[in-house]
Amino acid sequence: MSAFENRLALVTGASRGIGAATAEALAAEGAHVILVARSSEDLEKVEERIHATGGSATLAPLDMLADGAIGKLGQAVGGRWDALDIMVLNAAMLGKLRPVQDIDPKEFSQTIALNLLASQAMIAAFDPMLRQSGKGELVGITSSVGANPRAFWGAYGASKAAFDTLLGSYAEENAQTGKVRVHIVDPGATRTDMRADAFPGEDPHDLKAPDVVAQAIVERLKSDAQTGGRLIVEG
């Protein structure tokens, strides 16, 4: 039997990059994966690849910043399944890299809204289902700039620092019950569209593929790692 046979997983930002690779890796291990992202067309491509390898998935096209969208998603998933075993919070935006004094307030608000507030809303919507699993797993995809500030990365870094704190608090709050385990994953330099936007002159072939991060996440979920720990993916 595969590691996640008969388990339900949900991945945000699942249309490309690390999110898509993680969804496919979970499906390859037997999980039924709910694919969440804005682009239906891109999600369908991920679903096709999952089906081609014998996996199963459900599409959930969603703008996570739309009013009430996350609550409706929670109701829809809860109306079909009793429990959620794995949730991967991967959706995020980079924004333009600029000095702190030049950060655009509107873009900063959008960055905080997606990278932090939407993640809290996802936890709020799916916490009951994660607890119902009895062994719920929450994975948050973070960045090194959340822990180590870098020039011109203030807006994105601030959103990830707050995200890390949010996940750490959730881990502590659930540590005694053992019903939900939290993993904070720093993928490091990875061949993604976001990385290309941040470092346009970089040769993508020098970077590890998203599949490497996805496999590291799968192995982490299989392990007996303590809740709230930070996994830095090397390579």
Enumerate the active-site residues.
156
- Enclosing H/E stretch for 183: strand 180-186
Query: Ramachandran region of residue 77, left (φ > 0), alpha (ψ -120 to 50) or beta?
Result: alpha
Cα–Cα separations (whole angstroms), residue 28 to 12, 35, 66, 221:
18, 14, 31, 14
CA 43 from chain centre, in angstroms, equals: 15
Asked whether the beta carbons of 213 and 185 are under 8 A apart, the reply is yes
Instruction: Name the residue type at position 215.
Output: Q
Q: What is the rounded radius of gyration, in angstroms, for the C-alpha atoms of the chain?
A: 17
Number of neighbours of residue 34 by Cβ within 10 angstroms: 24
Asked whether the beta carbons of 13 and 90 are under 8 A apart, the reply is yes
Asked whether the beta carbons of 110 and 66 are under 8 A apart, the reply is no
Asked whether the beta carbons of 6 and 84 are under 8 A apart, the reply is no
